[in-house]
Each structure stands twice: as structure tokens, then as C-alpha cells.
């Protein structure tokens, strides 16, 4: 098997999007999925409010609704519909203390799709700027037990109306900088790709809020009326919550997870 493109000699790697997640899963590595704006950040927000999150691949349709019904969960809707109906959405600020103990099915074109592509791995974590240090520490704990490399998946975005022959992935600096923030708290031999990602974060750290607010994804959310979501998502190391996939849902990582 050709391993020229899989950063195989290294302990810490970076890949992009669904294909990157799928390839890392094939290698049975530990994964950190980074979708800063905003699947990862929303999962963290929900769990901070003691809600239960079941990820599900897009689109939001009848199949997703039936899946939610299996768990007595609410299917989270798009932001526009949420404004009209008052339901929960991919907006992290849509979750509050009133959600304690409630269950939700969360879809997204990028974060949830990457989770679906990489379910069967030694550990699948959700990472963001908000929990960068905490998720790094958790994955290092699991790495000590499993001996597996760690791959950080920068989800990126998708081009609208892309033709079937075109690459749909649009790299997003918010996810790349989120990945770099996590790598900055990891120990291990970095691939060149991971090294450059780390340097990108460290070289941009003093401008982080400004960069993310002004990048394409940040501007899109602000122009749609969700500037507060961007403010929430760019708060570096504001949370100690580390979501890790356990069966069909995310749980908060604890040392007991290592005993599985």
C-alpha cells in the first residue's frame, strides 16, 4: 500500500475534511475533529449545559428525524428555521441550562459528516478553540494507552453548487487555526504538515479574534445575524469539556474511558 501521502512516520498529523477523516480511520488512529464554526463548538456548548448529543450525517431530512425519534431526541434544525420556530440549531448559543438531560440529534455538512466517516477508531474527539488544551491532554492520555498516532481533522467548508467533477472542500482558516491551537498543546513527533499548522496558529495567535471574525466563514455568520456565535467560538481554552464519541453519542472524556 502506498504510504507516501499519509504522514506515516509521525505521531501527530493533520488532514482535511471527510476524505482525511476516512483515511485516518482506515489507519485506526486517534482522531480530533475540528469544526470551529460551528459543529465542534456547538457540541461543546450543549455538553456544557448537560445536554446529550447524537451526531448524524447530513442532510436534515426524514431519515434524520426517524433517527432522532429512536432516542426521544429533538432534531436540531438550520439557523434560519430555528429563528422562526425557536428550536435548537447549530448556533452554540441556542443551548442553555434549560437543556439539562435533554437529547438532540445534530447534523452538519462538515463536522457530523467527518464523524460519520470515522466512527470506528480508538478514540474520536471533538476539538475547537474553546477546548484546545483540554482535548490535547485527553488525546495524549489515550495515546499513552493505545500507542496510536493522533490525527487532527480540519473539517473546512464546502463550495456551494460545486460540479460533480470539482473538489467540494473549501479550506477554512478557522479550522486550520483551531487544529494548530490543539497541536500546540500536544507532545510527539510532528509531521511537516502538523508543524506548519502549529506555526500558523502561533504566528497568528495575537490576531486570532480579528482573523476569524474577518475570514469568509466568520463574515458569513455575522452577516446572517450570528456574530455572537463567532465571538463564542473563538474563545481560546474557555472550556474543559472534551466530547468523545461513545457508541452513538458524545460523552465527556474521563480517565474511565481509558479502561474500555
What CATH number is given to the structural domain containing 161? 3.90.1560.10
pLDDT for res 159:
87
Q: In 38-186, at which residue ranges do the beta strands (DSSP E only) sit?
A: 52-56, 74-75, 103-107, 124-127, 150-154, 157-158, 169-170
**3-state DSSP assignment of residue 16:** strand
Q: Per the domain annotation, does 152 fall within a domain?
A: yes
Q: Per the domain annotation, does 197 fall within a domain?
A: yes
Q: Per the domain annotation, does 63 fall within a domain?
A: no
pLDDT for res 80:
83
pLDDT reading at 258 higher than 80: no
Beta bridge partners of 158: 169
Q: Per the domain annotation, does 231 fall within a domain?
A: yes
pLDDT reading at 188 higher than 90: yes
Task: State which residues form the domain around 156.
Answer: 12-38+110-247
How many domains does the structure of the chain reveal?
1
pLDDT tier, 149 (very low <50, low <70, confident <90, very high otherwise): very high
Q: Per the domain annotation, does 209 fall within a domain?
A: yes
Please list, in sequence order, all residues whose beta carbon lies within 8 angstroms of the beta carbon of residue 208, skipping any fewer than 6 positions away.
129, 177, 234, 236
pLDDT for res 4:
58
Q: What is the mean pLDDT of residues 85-97?
A: 93
Write b or e for each residue in 210-227: b if 16 or more Cβ atoms lie within 10 A of its Cβ, otherwise e: ebbbebebbeebbeeebe
Q: Per the domain annotation, does 102 fall within a domain?
A: no
CA distance 100 to 48: 9
In 3D space, the residue among 88, 60, 57 whose CA is nearest the CA of residue 74 turns out to be 88
pTM of the model: 0.94
pLDDT reading at 67 higher than 90: yes
Q: Per the domain annotation, does 253 fall within a domain?
A: no
Q: Per the domain annotation, does 236 fall within a domain?
A: yes
Lowest mean per-residue pLDDT among 1-10, 203-212, 230-239: 1-10
Q: What is the mean pLDDT of residues 186-211?
A: 97
Amino acid at each position: 500500500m502506498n504510504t507516501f501521502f499519509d504522514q506515516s512516520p509521525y505521531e501527530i498529523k493533520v488532514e482535511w475534511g471527510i476524505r482525511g477523516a476516512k483515511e485516518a480511520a482506515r489507519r485506526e488512529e486517534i482522531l480530533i475533529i475540528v469544526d470551529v464554526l460551528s459543529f465542534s463548538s456547538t457540541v461543546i456548548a450543549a455538553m456544557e449545559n448537560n445536554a446529550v448529543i447524537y451526531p448524524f450525517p447530513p442532510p436534515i431530512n426524514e431519515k434524520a428525524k426517524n433517527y432522532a425519534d429512536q432516542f426521544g431526541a429533538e432534531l436540531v434544525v438550520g439557523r434560519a428555521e430555528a429563528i422562526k420556530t425557536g428550536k435548537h440549531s447549530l448556533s452554540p448559543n441556542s443551548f442553555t441550562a434549560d437543556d439539562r438531560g435533554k437529547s438532540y440529534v445534530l447534523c452538519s455538512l462538515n463536522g457530523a459528516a467527518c464523524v460519520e466517516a470515522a466512527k470506528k477508531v480508538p478514540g474520536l474527539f471533538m476539538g475547537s478553540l474553546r477546548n484546545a488544551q483540554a482535548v490535547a491532554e485527553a488525546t495524549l492520555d489515550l495515546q499513552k494507552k493505545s500507542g496510536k498516532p493522533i490525527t487532527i481533522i480540519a473539517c473546512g467548508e464546502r463550495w456551494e453548487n460545486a460540479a460533480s467533477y470539482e473538489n467540494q472542500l473549501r479550506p477554512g482558516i478557522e479550522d486550520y487555526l483551531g487544529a494548530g491551537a490543539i497541536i500546540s498543546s500536544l507532545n510527539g513527533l510532528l509531521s511537516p504538515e502538523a508543524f506548519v499548522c502549529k506555526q500558523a496558529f502561533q504566528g497568528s495567535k495575537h490576531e486570532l479574534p480579528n482573523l476569524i471574525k474577518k475570514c469568509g466563514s466568520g463574515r458569513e455568520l455575522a452577516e446572517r445575524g450570528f456574530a455572537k456565535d463567532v465571538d463564542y467560538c473563538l474563545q481560546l481554552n474557555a472550556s474543559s469539556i472534551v466530547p468523545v464519541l461513545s457508541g452513538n453519542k458524545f460523552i465527556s472524556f474521563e480517565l474511565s474511558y481509558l479502561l474500555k
